[in-house]
Every structure is written in structure tokens, then in C-alpha cells.
């Protein structure tokens, strides 16, 4: 009995070390990619619609008001903006509101969810949504996505192009988050 527990303990420790080593390798690859891309000194500030990194809060609200009047977006809860999305495999919504620093956009988080999600609609779970979003972003931003894991073992897909990083990851059974970050302003 003690030998079995001892073997299990050793297996558990070795498994933990393996995961830790893999995470360190992924972190080093990620940091190397960030360093390489920032060294190019290329700015890619475009986000969605005509939003850009560095856009002022005032310009953000004025532009949001304009596209709201055009019927492209609606107000969500609080200051959040919501858009109906029809280019995915099933109708969806995305909501967004940027993070500002010194009154300028430095991050642009968005959350997507399929409109028809229900526990019995297996084809509309976040795993499918994530694949759908990654395919769309790969085309729209000419992006090759790499993977890494965060501290909670969540798989994160990322693409870095100059200063702009795009991250995609599952939030829960119904939601996928896409996070645009200006790596010259944000240390992730």
C-alpha cells in the first residue's frame, strides 16, 4: 500500500514538473515572439470598424455614436457596445468596451457568444465559437495563431504583429473573449 502511494506521489510530482517545464517553454517562446515583433518597430493600430489604438476617449464615444446612428451597434449594459454578428457560422453577438490609459485606447476586449446557445445545442458551445472566431480573425488580420497556457491552464491563442497582439480564449461554455493589446503600452 505504501509503495502504491509512493509511486502515485512520484507520478504526481513528475506530472507537475512536466507541466511547469512546458509552461516555461511556452512563456519563453511567447516572450521571444514579443521581443522580435516589437524590435520591428512596426505599428498596427487598427482594431474593428475604424477604432484604433491611441484613439481618445472622446473620439471613441463620438465614433461609437455615429455607428450607432447607422444601426451597426447598440448600447449594451453600462458603456458597453453590442454588435450583432452575421459572418460566423451561426448568428452571434459581440460586446466591447476598450481600456483607456491617459485617455487613449490601449486594449480592446471583446466577448462573443452565439445567439442560439442552449445546453442542448452542442454545435453552439464556446469550443465551436472559438474555432469560428479564429478562422475569421486569421483571414481578416492575416494572422497565424500560436498557443500558450495561462496559470489556470486555459489555452490562449495569440498572434503578434508589430505592436498589436490578438488573444483568443474561452471564458465559459457560452463566451469567447478576443483581446487586442498595444504591446508598447501593456505588459501582459
pTM: 0.83
Whether 39 has a pLDDT exceeding 80, the answer reads yes
Q: Render the burial of 47-65: b for 16+ CB within 10 Å, e for the rest.
A: beeebbbebeeebbeeebe
State the residue range of the domain holding 138.
Answer: 2-182
Structurally, the chain folds into a number of domains equal to: 1
What is the model's pLDDT at position 108? 98
**Is the residue at 40 inside a domain?**
yes
E strands along 24-154, which residues?
A: 74-75, 81-85, 92-96, 99-101, 104-114, 146-149
Whether 56 has a pLDDT exceeding 60, the answer reads yes
pLDDT digits 0-9 by tens, 132-159:
999 999 999 999 999 999 888 899 999 9
pLDDT digits 0-9 by tens, 73-121:
999 988 899 999 999 999 999 999 999 999 999 999 999 999 999 889 9
Q: How many Cβ atoms from other residues are within 10 Å of residue 167's Cβ?
A: 19
Is the alpha carbon torsion for 167, 168, 169, 172 positive or negative? positive
Provide the greatest CA pair distance for the chain. Answer: 72
- Tell me the CB-side half-sphere exposure of residue 57, using CA atoms within 13 A: 6
Would residue 8 be called left, alpha or beta, if left means φ above 0 and alpha means ψ between -120 and 50 degrees? Answer: alpha
**Is the residue at 120 inside a domain?**
yes
Mean pLDDT of 17-29: 55
**Is the residue at 126 inside a domain?**
yes
**Is the residue at 188 inside a domain?**
no
**Is the residue at 159 inside a domain?**
yes
**Is the residue at 187 inside a domain?**
no
Amino acid at each position: 500500500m505504501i509503495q502504491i502511494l509512493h509511486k502515485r506521489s512520484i507520478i504526481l510530482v513528475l506530472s507537475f514538473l512536466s507541466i511547469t517545464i512546458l509552461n516555461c517553454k511556452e512563456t519563453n517562446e511567447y516572450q521571444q515572439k514579443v521581443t522580435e515583433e516589437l524590435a520591428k518597430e512596426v505599428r498596427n493600430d487598427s482594431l474593428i470598424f475604424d477604432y484604433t489604438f491611441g484613439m481618445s476617449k472622446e473620439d471613441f464615444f463620438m465614433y461609437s455614436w455615429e455607428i450607432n446612428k447607422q444601426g451597426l451597434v447598440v448600447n449594451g449594459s453600462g458603456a458597453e457596445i453590442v454588435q450583432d454578428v452575421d459572418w460566423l457560422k451561426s448568428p452571434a453577438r459581440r460586446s466591447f468596451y476598450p481600456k483607456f490609459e491617459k485617455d487613449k485606447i490601449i486594449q480592446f476586449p471583446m466577448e462573443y457568444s452565439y445567439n442560439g446557445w442552449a445546453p442542448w445545442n452542442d454545435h453552439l458551445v464556446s469550443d465551436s465559437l472559438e474555432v469560428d472566431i479564429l478562422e475569421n480573425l486569421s483571414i481578416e488580420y492575416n494572422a497565424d495563431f500560436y498557443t500558450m497556457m495561462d496559470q489556470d491552464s486555459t489555452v490562449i491563442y495569440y498572434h503578434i504583429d508589430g505592436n498589436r497582439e490578438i488573444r483568443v480564449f474561452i471564458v465559459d461554455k457560452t463566451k469567447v473573449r478576443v483581446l487586442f493589446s498595444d504591446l508598447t503600452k501593456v505588459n501582459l
